[in-house]
Structure 1
């Protein structure tokens, strides 16, 4: 894997875990399919980028809470994420990899002042497992 490919994968994973749309799973799967010997480093790069993006989203929520207290959620995905956080606490962040509700989970966790390190570890576990599944699937198909 070249340095440029590694950075492209990292940025793809980072952006797809923020409130911006994106799908890093396809980039990771394509890389593993074409270069199966790089699966471990590709998994680590994608996981690191995705967790960093989620923690940036957590930080945005943390910062927003200073200027705008959390009021009733307006979108359905935000309402679901908030319900999960109230019901399961930070443990809901194990599901931060899910489409639609994953990004609001991270944003709201910051907004609700959930602990930084606890959130980081839980997000890391969920996203690492999700990317491991992508890598195993792509490896099996190559």
Structure 2
């Protein structure tokens, strides 16, 4: 009977990781790092954890990009808690680093603003996807690896 409970618990655990990672990149000021570390330390599948966290966080960033693309800076400021100051700072990052700034969308405080500005600047979605997914993947891969070392 216990074996029957393991599969649903694992499914809900992975679903929770996906949802937490998604929300961490959109509307809520929360992080998914602690859950990633907890799952790795609890011997969950390393690759599943990294991939689900990456995909969830990437899709959350796509939501923010879309709001920026539609020119909804008021919505971005109000619902995503990204201030004008953060948007201006992200715009300076784009001026300085170009599309490479998207590799840093995982950074606290400025990451969501970089994503929103990418949409506001109407960056090509393929370029956006390549850099954002890569940055988030490398971040979760490094985090998961470090969790195996502690």
The equivalent of 1:9 in structure 2 is: 17
Residue 133 of structure 1, CA deviation: 1.1
Residue 89 of structure 1, CA deviation: 1.7
In 2: Cα distance, 1:137 partner to 1:67 partner: 38
Pairwise CA RMSD: 2.1
What secondary structure does 2:57 align onto? helix
TM-score (norm 2): 0.84
| Larger-Rg structure | 2
Q: In the comparison of the two structures, how many residue pairs are matched?
A: 136
Kindly indicate whether residue 91 of structure 2 is the aligned counterpart of residue 82 of structure 1. yes
Kindly indicate whether residue 144 of structure 2 is the aligned counterpart of residue 130 of structure 1. no
The equivalent of 1:121 in structure 2 is: 130
Further displaced range: 7-16 or 76-85: 76-85
Residue 90 of structure 1, CA deviation: 1.4
Residue 115 of structure 1, CA deviation: 0.7
The counterpart of 2:107, out of the listed 98, 104, 109, is: 98
Matches within 5 A, 1:16-55: 16-36=24-44, 38-55=45-62
| Structure 2: runs of 5 or more not aligned | 1-8, 76-81
CA contact (8 A) 1:81 1:108 kept: yes
Further displaced range: 79-88 or 98-107: 79-88
| Structure 1: runs of 5 or more not aligned | none
